[in-house]
Chains A and B, each alone.
Chain A
Amino acid sequence: MLELGYFLQQCLNGLSLGMLYGLIALGYTMVYGIVGMINFAHGEIFMISAFLAFLAFVGLQDAGVMSITLCVLGMFLFSMAITAVYGYALEAVAYKPLRSAPRLAPLITAIGMSILFQNFVQLTQGAQVKALPPLLTGTNVLGMFDHFAVTLSDTQIVLFISTVVTAVVLYAVIHKTPLGRAQRACAQDAKMASLLGISVNRVIAITFMMGAVGAAVAGVMVTLYYGVLDFYMGFLVGMKAFTAAVLGGIGSLEGALLGGVLLGLIETLWSAYFGADYKNVAAFGVLIFVLMVRPSGLLGRPTLEKV
C-alpha cells in the first residue's frame, strides 16, 4: 500500500476535496470576519447551489445544448447568480433584524433557516437522492510510478482552475477595491465605519452574497465531481468547511483555503490508509489538536479582547 503512485494519487484527490471545503470556508470566514458570528445556514446555501447547478444541467440537456463547455458555463452562471440572491435573502430575513439582539438569537434563526431550506428543497424536488451522469469524462495520465498511473481528471482541472480564480477574485476585491476597503473597515470596527459614512448594512449584505458565490462554485463542482446530491448534504459539508475555516484561522481568506486543503488531505489520506469509517473522527481530532496548540488557527492572528 505504501507506493508512491498511490500516495500521489490520493494527495491529488485530497487536494480536490480540500478545495471544495476551502471554497465553502471562504464564505464562513468572510462573514465571521465582518459580523463576528457563525453563519450556520451557509452549508444549506451550498446545498441549494448544488441543486441549482443540477437543475441548470438538466434544463440545458433538455434544451438540447450539446456543447460541454456551454453546459458547464451555464451551470456556473445560473447557480452563482441565484445563490447570491439566496445569500442576500438569508441575511435580510434571518440576520438583519437581529443585529442588536443577544448573541445566540441569530444562531437560532440560522438553524431555523437551515431547517427551512432543507425542507423547502425536499418538498419541491423530492426526498430521493439525485444522481447525475458524469459530464466531463476525460482523464489525463500525469506519470507512471511502479505501474501505477497517476491521473488527473478533467473535472479536477476545472475544479483547480475555478478555485484559484474564485480565490484570486475575492482576494483582489477585498484588498484592491473601495468595496473591499469598506469591508475591512467594517471588520475592524463597524460602528466607526458607519460614522465615516460606510453603509454597514450594505457591506454586510454584499459580503453574504460573495460568500454565497464561493459556495456556489463549490456546489457546481460537487455536482460535476461527485454527481450525487440530496437535500441533507449541506449539513456535514458545511460543518467540515467551518472546521476548515477555524483550522486555517477564521477571518483570513488564505487560511480558509489552507485549512480546507489540509482537511481534505487528512480525510482522503486517512480513508486511503485506515479506511473511511473514522475519517470524520480524524478530521475533528486534528481540529481539536490544532486549537489546543494554536487557538487562533494556523494563519489567524490572536485576537485582542476588548472591554
Chain B
Amino acid sequence: MRSFLPPRLLASPCAKILGWTLVAAVLFFPFFVLQAVDQNGVMSLAAFTYRPYLLAVFGVFLALCGVFFLPAPLRALGQSCPDFAVSDVQKKGLQVLLVVGLLILPLVSNRAELDLATVVLLSIALAWGMTIVVGYAGLLDLGYIAFYAVGAYAYALLSTGYGVSFWAALPLCALLPAVLAFLVGFPILRLRGDYFAIVTLGFAEIVRTLLINAQSITGGPNGVAEIPRPTLFGWGAADLDERMMMLYVLALAWAAVVYGLMRRLRVLPLGRAWEALREDEIAARSLGVNVHRMKLSAHVIGAMIAGICGAFFAAKQGFVSPESFTFLDTAFLLAMVVLGGMGSPWGVALAAILIVALPEVSRSFADYRMLFFGMVMVLVMIFRPGGFATARRPSVLYKPASGEQPS
C-alpha cells in the first residue's frame, strides 16, 4: 500500500487539517445542505438549509477529538488532572457535608427540585448496582435495565392486581429478577465476555417485547397506572408534600443501603474474587477461584438491586410502561458506570448526577441536548479513558504489624 504523496507532506499538520476539512465537508454536505421535504405528497430537495450553529458545534467537536491537530498536550492535560486527590480529613469533611446537605434538602427545596433529587438518588442506586456487575466483576451486562423493568412491573402488578402492600412486595421484587438472572446467567456466563454482552442485550429486548405484547397481563404499551404509593406506619399518604418527602427519604435510605453493600462487598472475599477475575480470569481460576460461581453471584446480586430500584421507581412514578426500559436507558447507566471510573462509588454518583440532572437543567436547548450528550460521552472517554476517578486503588493493603518496619 503505497501512497502517492511523500510521507513528510502527509504527516504535516497542514495536510492533516486540509484532509479533515475535506472529510468533514463530505460528511456534512449531504445532511447539512440537502434536506428532503414533503411538498404535497411529493418529496423534493430543499437545498442550502444553512445551519451555522450546528456546523460550528461539529467543528469544535472534531477539533477537540484531535483529528485536526496533535491532541497530545490537550490529552496530557486531561490525564494529569488531579484525581480528586483529597486527604482523609477532607474526605470525612466532604462526606459529613454531603450527608447534612442531603438531609436538609427536603426542607429547603421546592417540589420540582425534590422530585429531581429523588430521581437522581434512584439513578445513583441503580448505577451502583450496575457497578457491582460491570465495575467489580467486569461482566458487560447490556440488559441490566431488564431486571429493573421486572422489579418495577412486579410491584406495579402485585399492588394494582392483588392489593399487595409496598413492603410485602419488596422481597418478591428482589427475588424475581434474581431468579431470572440466575436462569439467564447460568448457561451464558460460561462463555466469553462479549457473548454475555450480546445475550443480555437480547434478553432485555425479549423482556421489553413481552411487556409490550402480553397486553392482558402487563397492559401492553399503555403500561400500568395508578400504582399505590408506599406508606410507613400510616405516614406518607396525607398530601402531596408528605408523599414526596416520603419518596425522597425512601430513595435516600435505599441509596445508603446500596452504598453500604458496595463498600462491604468490596472487602469481602467475594468482592476480592470478583476483582481478581475482572483483572485476569485465567490467573484467578488458577488460584482456585470458582469463576463461574463468582460471575453468577455478581450477576444475581446486581439483578436484585436493580429489581428493588425498579420497585422504588414504580412507586415513585405511580406509572410504568415499556418506554422506560429501552436500550438507551442501559446505555445511560453504562455511561454513568464507565464515566464514573468503573468501581468508584463517588465517581459513579458524580456521573449519575451529571447525566440525569443536566438534561433536566438544559431544557432550554432541548433540540440539541442529546447531540451534546453524545459528544460529551465521546470527549470524556477520549480525554479520560478511565473515567472521572481513574485511580485503581488497591482494595487490600498490607499492614505491617506493630514493631515491623514497612519496607
Contact = CB atoms under 8 A, between A and B. Distances in A.
B378 A112 contact: yes
A138 interface: no
B51 A108 contact: no
A257 B32 CA distance: 34
A124 B51 contact: yes
A239 B206 CA distance: 13
Contacts of B255: none
B188 A292 contact: yes
A98 B66 CA distance: 12
Contact of A121 (B31, B194, B282, B373): B31
Contacts of B206: 280-281, 284-285
B217 interface: no
Contact of A104 (B54, B75, B342, B378): B342
Contacts of B334: 104, 107-108, 111
Contacts of A175: none
A287 B202 contact: yes
Nearest to B75: A97
Contacts of A113: 374, 378
Q: Could you tell me the dominant secondary structure of chain A's interface residues?
A: helix
B374 A97 contact: no
A82 B202 CA distance: 31
B386 A102 contact: yes
Contacts of B65: 92-93, 97
Interface in A283-300: 284-285, 287-288, 291-292, 295
A246 interface: yes
A179 B381 CA distance: 31
Interface stretch (B161-169, B229-237, B363-371, B399-407): B363-371
Contacts of B199: 287-288, 291
Secondary structure dominating the interface of B: helix
A93 B26 contact: no
A105 B31 contact: no
Nearest to A32: B194
B371 A109 contact: no
Interface residues of A, number: 70
B270 interface: no
Interface residues of B, number: 66
Contacts of A85: 23, 26-27
A284 B203 contact: yes
Interface in B353-407: 367-368, 370-371, 373-378, 381-382, 385-386
Given A105-B381, A278-B209, A52 B27 contact: no
Given A104-B140, A288-B202, A178 B45 contact: no
Given A98-B381, A98-B382, A239-B201, A104 B134 contact: yes
A188 interface: no
Interface stretch (A8-16, A58-66, A166-174): A58-66
Nearest to A78: B30
A212 to B, nearest CB: 12
B327 interface: yes
Given A98-B382, A102-B386, A112-B381, A82 B30 contact: yes
B352 to A, nearest CB: 15
14 contacts: A51-B31, A97-B65, A98-B382, A102-B342, A105-B338, A107-B140, A107-B338, A112-B375, A112-B377, A124-B32, A124-B35, A179-B1, A239-B205, A280-B209
Given A51-B31, A59-B34, A295-B195, 20 more contacts: A54-B36, A55-B34, A85-B27, A92-B67, A93-B62, A93-B67, A102-B385, A104-B342, A105-B386, A112-B377, A112-B378, A117-B374, A119-B370, A132-B43, A199-B1, A250-B194, A281-B206, A284-B206, A287-B198, A305-B282
